Amino acid sequence: MKKWTRRMAIIGGVAGGGLLGVGFWFARERDRLGDRTLLNVKPNEAGLSGWVKIARDNGVVVAVPRAEMGQGVQTALAMLVAEEMDARWNQVRVEDPPEHGVYRNVDILIDSLPFSPEETGTVVDIAHWMAGKAGGVLGVLATGGSTSVRDAWHPMRVAGAVARDLLLRAASRKVSVPVSELVVVDGEVRRKNGARVATFGELVDYVGDLSSMPAPPLKKPSEFKLIGKPLPRLDIPAKVLATATFGIDVRRPGLLYAAVLNAPTFGGSATGFKVKGSLPKGVETVIIVPGGVAAIGTSWWRANKLLQEGIEVQWQPGPEPNLDSAALWQRYEGLMQDGKPALVRTLGEEKKPATVRSLEATYRAPYLAHSTMEPMNCTAQVMREGDKAKVEVWMPNQSPTLVRLIASKVADVPQEAVGVHTTFLGGGFGRRAEVDLVRQAVTCALAVPDKPVQVLWSREQDIKHDFYRPMALARWRAELDMSGGAPKLASVAKRQVAQSPADQFGARVVGLPLQGKPEGNAVENPPYAFPFYKLEAIVPDGSVPVGFWRSVGHSHTAFFDESFVDEIAVALKKDPFEFRRELLAKQPRHLKVLETAAKEAGWGTPLPAGSGRGIALRASFGSIVAQVAEITVTDGKTLQVKRVTCAIDCGPVVNPAIVRMQMESGIIYGLSAALYGEITLAGGAVEQSNFPDYDAVRLADAPAMAVHLVDTGSSAIGGVGEPGTPPIAPAVANAIFAATGRRLHDLPLRLRQET
């Protein structure tokens, strides 16, 4: 009998969930076109599918069901439709669609499966197929994991092709010319001889009752006119002209504001409170909310001042009220020695050379906060209509599906009675996938029926009450074969300890049982051809809440892995770049990206004294990124990152300008964490509170950056929002070693004077 494995259990779970779901067999790819009336069709508009409609003013309106948080998703997704539709870019605009299963994100569920990207075979194919079916049934709208373009690449192009076909048939009806003699060019229908037949706007009245036809063939890459071009972003004009609405900009009639004071220790709560004297002007009430207390009034400043100075709260402490960082690191070190792994994986065949030299290194990465530039906020209103209630939520969020689910539970109303309005996000990075502010905002709205309430956290509350990037401990060990003339690598093994954001997220948001399994992308297989590789991943219990942070597990494992690869190269007396080339001989995509970064950075050319270059490579979210950091160290302790050269292969590029922007953004975000990011604990609480003690790279200190797009011929679509972050920390650490001979094993990277 075949052994029942965790992998088979997961596949069975996905399959079972999908097969039991109503309409499983109807979750077909072609059903993602949706009904033509789905996209809020108004007078003087005609729907062509759930994804696109045309307007009498010749506008093409594209549904973008993913949150725009600065990553350019509105532009990239609209380009997919416009390309197949042959629309002009200046006639395209975007619109938020209603929440509907048509707009589900299937790839984000597929990415949660416990496979490395390079794994193939029947088991993997079945799991992906089952996850796709389950995603169709669940219909979850979510933005994250760099999946937006990957998920939309096919359905939105199909929607554009179907729209083009409908317009051709509508024009044929209008002018009584066979479809075979018509083409769509630059946003209008023409005869093949170039004579104009109709603009899109002139066809609004001719498409309504046309029957749907099978989708025509999609364009070949050689036929692309828009995809691959650095088209201007659609969201920029509104942001420049200050007409864009972020969550913090929401203003509803009669709006009240709520300031929040969260429990000082993790998992704590308020059991009661006492206001000192009477409520001040501008504050209407104080209530207990999930995780703390809230003051509600016409002035957020007065409400917050009351919480800081005019109230005494009785707190129920969390489960570890005395927890501090030193004790937690000790706990992790104990688990490193004796903890039972939740996952053990081996690749290759282990051999024992006659003469062995061992190389070992231990690395640390601290907790990190998200520190989104827009403060955390959520606006909610509960309106009573007889014995029924309706809830409206305005929020910068990464999953309106989860917002609706939580709001309905808190207000005790059906999900159909909840309306969710997703605004622009002033940064997401995974933090805005959480629903803690939804719980607090709806609780506040229930306390003042019919009045909208905007919950707004101070920066201090944000940093002290985040869902943090996990702290992690890793121990790498390499065995070097010293039997021959020159030493050779015989085997490598890694043992790591880190909490799992995916495990915690499912438990706290939708009540799934904790599995104690590691974060999937924190245990992905390395691309290097190690003779033998062993991984042991330990998942500790802990009261510190962890969540998805830009690039998730890759953000710390890349530092561990790429730092140790450098250490092996040094031990073997090999150039770190050349050593990686050897290990990537059978990985042509990775190799080309690595070589591009090295060449463009001038790898091997002389640098002034006190300077150094470091290189790092990481494949994540379907893309491969290599970075070379050039640094200088003055007076033995002052570090400056002068230049970063980045190469990326993300498969077909939709908009090269957006890819470059996202690589630069990821580099700065990762560099801020590498140089400054550290959340520490004392007395069961976070010690940091604002940017003075949780700093970021400033403009004056930002390195020069060059991004090179590498075409390896791959047709696989990769993400770009997150893959730029993981390689920068190890690249800088390796550059520090090249410049100083000092190997830094702990993040953040701090140079201290030698004693």
CA distance linking residue 286 with residue 259, whole number of Å: 10
| pLDDT score, position 121 | 72
CA distance linking residue 394 with residue 381, whole number of Å: 9
Please check whether residue 464 is in contact with residue 688, taking contact to mean a CB–CB distance below 8 angstroms.
Answer: yes
Confidence grade of residue 9 (pLDDT, cut at 50, 70, 90)? very low
Q: At what angle are helices 576-583 and 588-601 packed, to 10 degrees?
A: 160
Range 247-318+376-456 has CATH code 3.90.550.10: no
Find the mean pLDDT for residues 182-211.
96
| pLDDT score, position 278 | 94
| pLDDT score, position 128 | 58
| pLDDT score, position 108 | 84
pLDDT tens readout for residues 485-507: 899 999 999 999 999 999 999 99
Q: What does pTM read for this prediction?
A: 0.94
Terminal alpha carbon distance of the chain = 63
| pLDDT score, position 212 | 80
CA distance linking residue 138 with residue 690, whole number of Å: 39
- The secondary structure of 4-55 as a DSSP string is --HHHHHHHHHHHHHHHSTTGGG--GGGGG--TTTTT--TTEEESSSSEEEE
- Enumerate the CATH 3.30.365.10 domain ranges in the chain, comma separated: 34-105+140-240, 247-318+376-456, 325-368+467-740
Confidence grade of residue 589 (pLDDT, cut at 50, 70, 90)? very high
Architecture of domain 325-368+467-740: 2-Layer Sandwich (3.30)
Find the mean pLDDT for residues 39-67.
97
Lowest-confidence pick of 95-109, 129-143, 183-197, 578-592: 129-143
Please check whether residue 400 is in contact with residue 141, taking contact to mean a CB–CB distance below 8 angstroms.
Answer: yes
Helix (H) or strand (E) holding 416: none
> pLDDT > 90: what percent of the chain?
87
CA distance linking residue 27 with residue 18, whole number of Å: 10
In the three-class reduction of DSSP (H, G, I as helix; E, B as strand; rest coil), residue 469 is classed as strand
Please check whether residue 159 is in contact with residue 81, taking contact to mean a CB–CB distance below 8 angstroms.
Answer: yes
Any idea which residue has 């939804």 for tokens? 438
CATH no. of 34-105+140-240: 3.30.365.10
Helix (H) or strand (E) holding 359: strand 356-365
Find the mean pLDDT for residues 575-594.
98
pLDDT tens readout for residues 106-145: 888 767 665 555 566 776 667 556 666 555 555 689 999 9
Helix (H) or strand (E) holding 433: none
Which residues on adjacent β-strands are paired with residue 167? none
| pLDDT score, position 2 | 37
| pLDDT score, position 14 | 39
pLDDT tens readout for residues 646-655: 999 999 999 9
pLDDT tens readout for residues 710-750: 999 999 999 999 999 999 999 999 999 999 999 999 999 99
Q: Over the range 224-236, which residues count as b (16 or more CB within 10 Å of their CB) and which as e?
A: eebbbeebebbbe
pLDDT tens readout for residues 332-356: 999 999 999 999 999 999 999 999 9
Give the burial class of 243: count Cβ atoms within 10 A of its Cβ; 0-12 exposed, 13-18 middle, 19 or more buried.
Answer: exposed
In the three-class reduction of DSSP (H, G, I as helix; E, B as strand; rest coil), residue 729 is classed as helix
